[in-house]
């Protein structure tokens, strides 16, 4: 009986593998959709659309259609992805909010970030920056640390409200340096950037893409940049690791997943094509233009990253008592 069951299992595995391979050989035979949680016109959207066109050409000319499902802290897009057929015709662009933060911030989610998806590949990181007003009497992280440590509460930190990424970084930095930064909440990114330019805000955490204009006009300066290496166009700005912020787990990322149960051969094909697309010179240049950093790799590498990032964010959420919704 045991031998029969073992033989059945082997035969089933062989048949399943053969079916998966046969499916991959005819894939794709119709249009593919990519669900993303960003609205049209964002920097993320501007990268995904041309990469989708290139992907379609590499997949036999089948259209790859972008489906924007923004809102509800990415829950709408994530749920749509989780409930789609696992046939390789629905791809999903996921980010830190939906995959790392939401599982710790919401008591009930219509998706399971760990079980409902099969990772395909990491795509890119956003370049975050510690930005300061031009009038701040500190030109480096070391100078800022010396001033802030000597005068706790003397400097403020612009945020998008309690428990936002900036607000958590503000508190985290205060703990790291054994000092305090006063949080100043704003209702939107534009209001925050205007306050930074006017000198009403001493510091903030923001994407390089949104702050670069203020830096170029001399209304703000960068003290550190969250990248694996210094930016070629701003070599004077140290990385977060160089500035002593390597323990900060908040760097935004994006990657591709498919619904759990998608045939392994299709996942492998998609991974290979995405990696080739994002390693092309023109896409490397596009990422740099949007101040992103490429991070493509294997499905296994992305799965490991998602798990460790979710765990690190869980520690952060608990450390700062961020409430569940």
CB 98 within 8 A of CB 74: yes
| C-alpha distances in Å from residue 216, one per residue of 21, 32, 96, 285 | 52, 40, 29, 20
Task: List pLDDT tens digits, range 172-211.
Answer: 999 999 999 999 999 999 999 999 999 999 999 999 999 9
269-290: average pLDDT: 96
According to the model, what pLDDT value does residue 57 have? 97
Task: List pLDDT tens digits, range 147-158.
Answer: 999 999 999 999
91-105: average pLDDT: 97
CB 69 within 8 A of CB 80: yes
Closest listed residue to residue 173, CA positions, set 128, 106, 220, 127:
128
Global pTM value:
0.90
- Give the domains, in start order, of the chain with CATH numbers: 31-126+251-319 (3.40.190.150), 128-226 (3.40.190.10)
CB 155 within 8 A of CB 202: yes
Which pair of structure tokens corresponds to residue 108?
A: 């009930």
Angle at 119 between CA 118 and CA 124, to 5 degrees: 155
Residues 6+ positions from 222 with CB-CB distance below 8 Å: 129, 130, 131, 132, 208, 211, 215, 234, 237
- Whether 58 has a pLDDT exceeding 60, the answer reads yes
CB 184 within 8 A of CB 156: yes
């Amino acid at each position: 009986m045991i031998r029969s069951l073992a033989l059945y299992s082997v035969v089933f595995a062989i048949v399943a593998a053969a079916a998966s391979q046969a499916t991959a050989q005819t894939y794709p035979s119709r249009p593919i959709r990519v669900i993303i949680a960003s609205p049209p016109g964002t920097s993320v959207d501007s990268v995904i659309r041309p990469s989708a066109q290139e992907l379609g050409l590499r997949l036999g000319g089948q259209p790859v259609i972008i489906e924007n499902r923004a809102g509800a802290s990415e829950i709408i897009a994530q749920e749509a992805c989780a409930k789609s057929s696992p046939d390789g015709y629905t791809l999903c662009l996921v980010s830190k909010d939906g995959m790392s933060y939401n599982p710790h911030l919401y008591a009930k989610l219509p998706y399971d970030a760990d079980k409902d998806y099969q990772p395909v590949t990491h795509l890119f990181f956003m370049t975050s920056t510690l930005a300061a007003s031009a009038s701040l009497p500190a030109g480096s992280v070391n100078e800022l640390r010396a001033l802030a440590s000597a005068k706790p509460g003397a400097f403020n930190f612009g945020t998008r409200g309690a428990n936002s990424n900036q607000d958590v970084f503000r508190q985290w930095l205060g703990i790291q340096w054994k000092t305090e930064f006063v949080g100043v909440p704003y209702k939107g990114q534009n209001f925050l950037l205007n306050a930074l330019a006017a000198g009403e805000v001493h510091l903030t955490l923001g994407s390089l893409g949104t702050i670069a204009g203020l830096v170029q006009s001399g209304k703000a300066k960068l003290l550190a940049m969250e990248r694996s290496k210094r930016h070629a166009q701003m070599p004077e700005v140290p990385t977060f690791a160089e500035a002593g912020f390597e323990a900060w787990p908040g760097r935004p990322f994006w990657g591709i997943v498919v619904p759990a149960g998608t045939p392994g051969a299709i996942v492998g094909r998609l991974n290979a094509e995405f990696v080739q697309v994002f390693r092309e010179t023109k896409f490397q240049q596009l990422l740099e233009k949007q101040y992103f950093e490429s991070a493509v790799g294997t499905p296994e590498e992305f799965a490991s990253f998602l798990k460790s990032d979710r765990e690190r964010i869980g520690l952060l959420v608990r450390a700062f008592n961020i409430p569940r919704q």
